[in-house]
Amino acid sequence: MAGPHPATATIRRAVRAALEEVSPGDVVLVACSGGADSSALAAATAFEAPKLGVRAGVVVVDHGLQTGSDSIARRVADWCRTLGFDLVHITPVRVVQDGHGLEAAARDARYEALDVAADRYGAALVLLGHTLDDQAEQVLLGLVRGAGARSLSGMPQTRGRFRRPLLGVTKRQCRQLLADEELEWWDDPMNEDTAYARVRARYGLADLERALGPGVAQALARTATQLREDADFLDALADDAVTALGPGPWAVDDLLALARPVRTRVWRRLVVAAGAPAGQVSTRHTDACDALLTRWHGQGPVSLPGPLTATRSDGRVSITRPSPVE
């Protein structure tokens, strides 16, 4: 008897490796939108989880961004039940842009909903359907934006209870699994809307593949893996440096003793620890703080998110919240 298609076998092995992290009886949730990638993830999980004694469930997040999204969510949930999932949870969310763009706002709402669902069901893991292609797009966007090593390292396979088993799997392989198993999926029209940067990156990646030959996506994904190791190492050095520096104000000489790749990370940690929203601290802010050390000519305070200010005085730098103007 012939075995499954190689793509199906590859995806099942990747999912099995994630499920083997937990114990029999544990709950693992799959985030499923009904798209090809998350549907392939759900199908592979439905196949592998019973063999390991893992109770697998599905969370369908309804972002409410399209007319009839609630009907689509119910249809996806019903489809997941046909795969054998008895724990299927639909969670509607309210996407508030809050100045950070629709994609970012939808992502934040989605992860918050997945966390709530995981707490509700006591899930040991939540599986996400990001693929190698998604990773390559993430790196490409980072390159275009001139991002640093942390951004170029892409999405981690593991973060807290979240897992991305398919980061070594292509979208083509996901569709092949669904075709092999004669399963349907839903194509979100927003995935073709070039108003979104990620969609433009997808088209750009396809253009690069045509111009440079196949393998661009795989190369970008490998770059992400290599840079993640470097970024993790530098982050660990920065954490140690912050601990050694202690509470401010901090001596200029102590900060200058740090290598710049470590020092820029230290600045970010010090600014966030002082009360700045992490998502608002940019390279522009950390470079301005660093100029208090490397290009010092008696300049005034550096304005930072929070609002905060970084100030140099008497050979020391402090980060404080400015006093309100009376």
Question: 38 a known binding residue?
Answer: yes
Please compute the mean of the pLDDT values over residues 120-129 and round it to a whole number: 97
pTM of the model as a whole: 0.83
Closest CA to 285 of 300, 271, 299: 271
pLDDT at 225 over 50: yes
List the chain domain ranges. 6-219, 246-320
Alpha-carbon distance of 147 to 144, in angstroms, equals 8
Cβ burial of 285 (10 Å; 0-12, 13-18, 19+) is buried
What residues pair up with 319 in beta bridges, in sequence order? 310
| Beta strands across the sheet bearing 308-313 | 250-251, 316-320, 308-313, 302-304
Question: Known binder of ligand: residue 39?
Answer: no
- Which amino acid appears at position 132 of this protein? L
- pLDDT tens readout for residues 61-93: 988 777 788 899 999 999 999 999 999 999 988
Nearest CA to 90 out of 120, 127, 122, 66 is that of: 120
**Burial class (CB within 10 angstroms; exposed 0-12, middle 13-18, buried 19+) of 165:** buried
151 annotated as ligand-binding: no
248-300 pLDDT, tens per residue? 899 999 999 999 999 999 999 999 999 998 878 888 999 999 999 999 999 99
Q: Calculate the average pLDDT of the chain.
A: 91
Closest by CA position to 268, among listed 98, 150, 152, 108 = 150
CATH topology of domain 6-219: Rossmann fold (3.40.50)
**What class is the 246-320 domain?**
alpha beta
Cα separation of 191 and 70, whole Å?
18
Q: Is 313 annotated as a binding residue?
A: no
34 labelled binding-site residue = yes
- Say if residue 23 carries a ligand binding annotation: no
DSSP string spanning 158-171? EETTEE-TTTTS-H
